[in-house]
Amino acid sequence: MAAASSKVTTKYPHLLTPLDLGFTTLKNRVLVGSMHTGLEEGRSLTKLAAFFSERARGDVGLIVTGGVAPNRAGRVSPLAGKMTTSSEINRHKEVTQAVHGNGIAMQILHSGRYGYHPFTVAPSPIKAPIGWFTPKELSHRGIQSTIKDYVQCAVNAREAGYDGVEVMGSEGYLINQHTNKRTDEWGGDYKNRIKFPDGSSWEEIVELAKEVEAAGATLLNTGIGWHEARVPTIATSVPRGGFSWVTGKLMVAVVGAGPAGLACASVAAERGHDVTLYDKHEEIGGQFNLAKQIPGKEEFYETLRYFGKQIEKHGVKVQLGQYVDAQHLIDNQFDRVVMATGITPRKLTIEGAASSPKVVSYVDVLNGNVTLGHRVAIVGAGGIGFDVAEYATHTGTSPSLDIDLYADEWGIDRTMTNRGGLAPRHVHPPPIRKVYLLQRKSTKLGKDLGKTTGWIHRLSLQHRDVEMIGGISYDKVDDQGLYITKTKTKEQLLLQVDHIVVCAGQVPLRDLEPALQKSNIPVFRIGGSDEASELDAKRAINQGSRLAAKIETATPGEPLGPLPTWSEKAVAYTMQFFQK
């Protein structure tokens, strides 16, 4: 009998072989790409060192840190990391020493006009669509100074013990921001422009790679997309750390198996508590079961699959398909009760709405209980209103599940014969129904949608000829349709529609609270039952997880909103300059 071979069979035969870079040799070709952990800020990098130490234990060939600025103007935010002083060099030595001989490179990142602070610089004084500040235009002297700062930053990185540096030259940051608007030696013809590359043809990209190699780069790490792309690349519509045991086990009831309840139940059980999860529906998910029906949000199926596995793994007792009352919770002597009961949609309170069969809730539409007619008015242009508009204007297979449909929808040239990979002319098919998206406010529709995804939703609906009307009042409903008045001009309109879908907000469900509070059981609210003004899955999961992490000592009623993000910290920092 022949001996079994120990050689690993792989489509990438060189993946686990050493790579000689000249100045050093990597043990294999597996790279941990650059990512911002939120641990780069502050005076201590101990947690960051521990993070990379864990990554190094996986025996990867090279680790690349999150972006470190070469100067003050290049910081992503006022508190972001930079490498310009001896004290910063010494702090980074803790990181490099923690890796214990595994390769680690520091990414040098200059944010350019993407910086969240008033000291931003860029090739031209043009504010980024996702930015808050208009950058200062770099002079020739400023560019030369910035180049020197890059060099010094690399020298400092070597002194700190890094094996190399990665220069961030894509994704829309400074080096990628030099457009063709300059007429000096940093703009104009291609030889000048490749010093600071912008969108390029494939031939130009290959030429640029050769120029970068000739300039001394040892490795090239490619990236696709940026924060201002006209084609979505990292949104859900695209086809596809802490652990501690508690010393005292609590009996915890979580009422509601939506995102907040699932997060709370799974984390609390993981921490050792005895958790029972209740929901009146036959399946977990709550509002996620509606959201996953939206074209482009099918990834929520995976979120629910994940939570299903988590509650099973950590032994959560799940009781579905039954309404739980306060007396049941009292009789079972729970130590803590978490209200993740969600919301109930608001109704349209205008003349004729209550009795009209045209008026339906978004819940009934997304549940499949109502089949929409050919002409639809959507009342409310928040996140749910936009979702319902997407649902109402799609049919058949979702483009996010089919690459060919996705390419057709967004005008992607898959032959790669056109610059930028975009078809020169793109004609969208006629819409399957006429949809009006309405809101009372006169502000831009979708203003509060995600900063980096809102444009996707607006553009997608424009492709389908959705008529967006803001600054109106709702007058009445009759057999003809919905009557509205434009607030500014007082013009009255009749929208002749088959259905009016109400997405005009929601109110929290808190009916169990009074009886529980009388029995002195600590009661906590999370998710929609805490704040129903605009449903937010990230906030709900954040709240549920954070409450579970401190449920032993948490006080009912204390704020459980999300922690300030680094951009909010930047706002607080920069506002002082305007106040002065």
- The total number of structural domains in the chain stands at 3
* Domain presence at residue 179: yes
* Domain presence at residue 448: yes
What CA–CA distance (Å, rounded) separates 16 from 8?
Answer: 9
For 234, residues 6+ apart whose C-beta sits below 8 A from its C-beta are 225
CB 66 within 8 A of CB 35: yes
Asked if 286 and 359 sit in the same domain, the reply is no
Asked if 301 and 157 sit in the same domain, the reply is no
Q: Tell me the C-alpha to C-alpha distance, in Å, between residue 539 and each of 260, 402, 561.
A: 8, 30, 7
* Domain presence at residue 7: no
Asked if 61 and 29 sit in the same domain, the reply is yes
Pick the catalytic residue: 173, 391, 406, 436? Answer: 173
Which of 79, 83, 109 is closest to 96 using CA atoms?
Answer: 83
* Domain presence at residue 414: no
Asked if 79 and 135 sit in the same domain, the reply is yes
The verdict on whether 173 is a catalytic residue reads yes
Asked if 351 and 464 sit in the same domain, the reply is yes
* Domain presence at residue 90: yes
Asked if 327 and 351 sit in the same domain, the reply is no
237-288 confidence digits (pLDDT tens)? 777 743 344 456 899 999 999 999 999 999 999 999 999 999 999 999 998 9
Return the CATH number at 204. Answer: 3.20.20.70
What CA–CA distance (Å, rounded) separates 568 from 99?
Answer: 32
Which of 396, 510, 388, 369 is closest to 438 using CA atoms?
Answer: 388
| Both structure tokens of 224 | 């696709």
Asked if 190 and 298 sit in the same domain, the reply is no
Beta pairing, strands 25-26 & 19-20: antiparallel
Phi-psi region of 285 (alpha: psi -120 to 50; beta: other; left: phi over 0): left
- Least confident range of 61-65, 224-228, 232-236, 422-426: 224-228
Asked if 156 and 191 sit in the same domain, the reply is yes
Asked if 293 and 198 sit in the same domain, the reply is no
Asked if 305 and 390 sit in the same domain, the reply is no
* Domain presence at residue 408: no
Instruction: Please give the sequence-ordered ranges of beta strands (E in DSSP) within 28-171, or none if there are none.
Output: 31-32, 62-68, 103-108, 121-122, 136-137, 164-167
For residue 51, the 8-state DSSP code is H
Q: What whole-number percentage of the chain has pLDDT above 90? A: 48
What CA–CA distance (Å, rounded) separates 114 from 120?
Answer: 8
424-461 confidence digits (pLDDT tens)? 777 778 889 999 999 999 998 988 887 778 888 898 99
Parent domain of 111 = 19-214
CB 472 within 8 A of CB 443: no
CB 78 within 8 A of CB 537: no
Return the CATH number at 450. Answer: 3.50.50.60
Please state whether the predicted TM-score (pTM) of the whole model is above 0.75. no
Q: Is the pLDDT of residue 102 over 90?
A: no
| Both structure tokens of 501 | 């879908």
What CA–CA distance (Å, rounded) separates 455 from 449?
Answer: 8
- Least confident range of 191-200, 378-387, 402-411, 553-562: 191-200
* Domain presence at residue 578: no
For residue 138, the 8-state DSSP code is P
Pure H helices in 271-361: 288-291, 300-313, 326-331
What CA–CA distance (Å, rounded) separates 132 from 62?
Answer: 35
- Secondary structure (3-state) at 393: helix
Which position has the higher pLDDT, 580 or 155?
155
Among the three residues 188, 214, 240, which one is the final residue of a domain in this structure? Answer: 214
How confident is the model at residue 184, as a pLDDT?
Answer: 66
Q: SS3 letters for 160-208?
A: CCCCEEEECCCCCCHHHHCCCCCCCCCCCCHHHHCCCCCCCCHHHHHHH
CB 484 within 8 A of CB 475: yes
Asked if 262 and 299 sit in the same domain, the reply is yes
| Both structure tokens of 575 | 């506002």
CB 268 within 8 A of CB 548: yes
* Domain presence at residue 47: yes
Asked if 256 and 129 sit in the same domain, the reply is no
Among the three residues 169, 191, 214, which one is the final residue of a domain in this structure? Answer: 214
Torsion angle of alpha carbons 356, 358, 361, 364, nearest 10°? 120
How confident is the model at residue 189, as a pLDDT?
Answer: 58
Range of 108-112, 134-138, 256-260 with top mean pLDDT: 256-260
